[in-house]
Amino acid sequence: MPGEHARIQVVKTNKDYGYAKILERTETSPDRVAPPCPIFDTCGGCTIQHLAPDAQLAFKRDIVRHALTRIGGLDATDTAPTLGMTDPWDYRNKIQVPVALQNGAFAFGFYRKRSHAIVPMEHCPITDPLIDAIVQTARQIAEEKGIQPYDEQRHRGSLRHIMARIGKQTGEVMVVFVTKTDDLPFRKAFIDGLTSRYPQIKSIVHNVNNRRTNAILGKESRTIWGRDAIYDKIGGITFAISAHSFYQVNPSQTEVLYKKALEFAALTGKETVIDAYCGIGTISLFLAKAAKHVYGVEIVPEAIADARQNAERNGITNASFEAGKAEEVIPAWRAQGIAPDVIVVDPPRKGCDAALLDTMRAMQPQRIVYVSCNPATLARDLKTLTADGLYQVKKIQPVDMFPQTTHVETVVLMSRKDK
């Protein structure tokens, strides 16, 4: 931990960095706290529960500042303090727990760090308490009935994952059972046992994943009880979320993040906006209220179908969506004469495609708002976007979307120098 001293044993050295094991801590940081979770040491989920909340925020600001300076070659001294949560627990709106055959027995819990061994889990303190309890009830039913857990080595057995998701604003819950087998054994027992106890459950889905893969969900989903989707609200806009939808896992901080993106976009109602990597249209619809028109693009066709429905459901008529790769669709829009005043991007961890960065520079919007879940690729892309001197980084705002972990989200505002 920053500021601590320890006796270490060096295990590997590289040119610029090395690895070591801690033998004994000789000086303890005042920021070190007792991690509340009993499986913190073994579970691969949280990594910094032992760091005090304020120190976590400072640490995340440093991660962003270092990446932008070292990788991006930028002046990041003005990186704003990380926006955190007042109570950084119980925040996750989704929990997905692997089920496996381990030492001949039913195991339910999270993977150990860098491994597929399961650490038994009875309660997850960063997850919403209701869905935390629901997955445990589902586990009890599974164990009582004696359902075959999935055996990864032999690729046999049935139940692979139990997942639950809650719309925090509506209280609605979806439960998903993922099996290797085509059927869900004891289906009625699961449905009756869960719905009789939890009236908040509005949807139960059975997903089949019969491949040898680390991906949780297979292609095929069947609703076995209730609706195909649950609803949630962000900033007064209602979103439908189905089993396959990407949806931010920390809804209260999502609102903080989107408000920053909106503030940086500085919309007056006259602007044409492009929202690249738009998912189910969350940012697009959030911005549409303040813009002339928003164009959203996203690679997953189902998400685009959801985005269109979400626009309609909320009576938003100035947002349109297209399925495809951002790096292909946006150049096509450019050829059609669409000239954005603001471009917002929110790419996955690997960052933006080089072709997209070229198109963005060629389109010369007034402002670019970059929402990033990976400081390293953010830094790389900012370096490219600012290379020819047309754009300048104006604001850097880290947001803590994932307390107790080292993940950090960042919103960056870039503006044209000539404006």
Report yes or no: 51 and 59 within 8 Å, Cβ to Cβ: yes
Helix ranges, 38-124 (H): 53-70
The answer to whether 248 is a known ligand-binding residue is yes
Cα–Cα distance measured from residue 347 to residue 412, given in angstroms and rounded to the nearest whole number: 13
Output 106 or 231, the one with its CB closest to ligand SAH.
Answer: 231
Q: Is 419 helix (H, G, I), strand (E, B) or coil?
A: coil
Among 40, 106, 246, 333, interactor with ligand SAH by CB under 6 A: 246
Output 57 or 297, the one with its CB closest to ligand SAH.
Answer: 297
Cα–Cα distance measured from residue 118 to residue 218, given in angstroms and rounded to the nearest whole number: 21
Single-letter code of the amino acid located at 235: G
Among 91, 190, 225, 277, interactor with ligand SAH by CB under 6 A: 277
The answer to whether 346 is a known ligand-binding residue is yes
Output 248 or 404, the one with its CB closest to ligand SAH.
Answer: 248
Among 162, 208, 303, 307, interactor with ligand SAH by CB under 6 A: 303
- Provide the minimum distance between the beta carbon of 254 and ligand SAH in the complex, in angstroms, as a whole number: 7
- Provide the minimum distance between the beta carbon of 350 and ligand SAH in the complex, in angstroms, as a whole number: 8
The answer to whether 263 is a known ligand-binding residue is no
Find residue 92's DSSP bridge partners: 127
Cα–Cα distance measured from residue 245 to residue 203, given in angstroms and rounded to the nearest whole number: 14
Angle at 391 between CA 279 and CA 329, to 5 degrees: 35
Q: Is 324 helix (H, G, I), strand (E, B) or coil?
A: coil
DSSP code string of 281-313: THHHHHHHTTSSEEEEEES-HHHHHHHHHHHHH
- Name residues contacting ligand SAH, limited to 348-377 (CB under 6 A): 348, 353
- Residue whose C-alpha is closest to residue 152's, from 201, 123, 116: 116
- Provide the minimum distance between the beta carbon of 20 and ligand SAH in the complex, in angstroms, as a whole number: 35
Please, is 163 exposed, middle or buried when counting C-beta atoms within 10 Å of its C-beta (0-12, 13-18, 19+)? buried
Phi/psi of residue 161, nearest 5 degrees? -145, 150
The answer to whether 144 is a known ligand-binding residue is no
Q: Answer yes or no whether residue 264 interacts with ligand SAH by CB under 6 A.
A: no
Which residue number places its CB atom closest to ligand SAH? 279
Close Cβ partners of 38 (under 8 Å, ≥ 6 residues apart): none
Output 201 or 329, the one with its CB closest to ligand SAH.
Answer: 329
Q: Answer yes or no whether residue 282 interacts with ligand SAH by CB under 6 A.
A: yes
Among 176, 217, 278, 369, interactor with ligand SAH by CB under 6 A: 278
- Token couple for 11: 């295990």
> Is 373 assigned a catalytic role?
yes
Which range of residues in 52-60, 287-295, 344-352, 390-398 is near ligand SAH by CB under 6 A?
Answer: 344-352
Q: Answer yes or no whether residue 300 interacts with ligand SAH by CB under 6 A.
A: yes
Residues marked as binding?
248, 277, 298, 346
- Binding residues for ligand SAH, rule: CB under 6 A, are 246, 248, 277-279, 282-283, 297-300, 303, 325-327, 346-348, 353
Question: Which residues are annotated as catalytic?
Answer: 373
Residues marked as binding for S-adenosyl-L-methionine?
248, 277, 298, 346
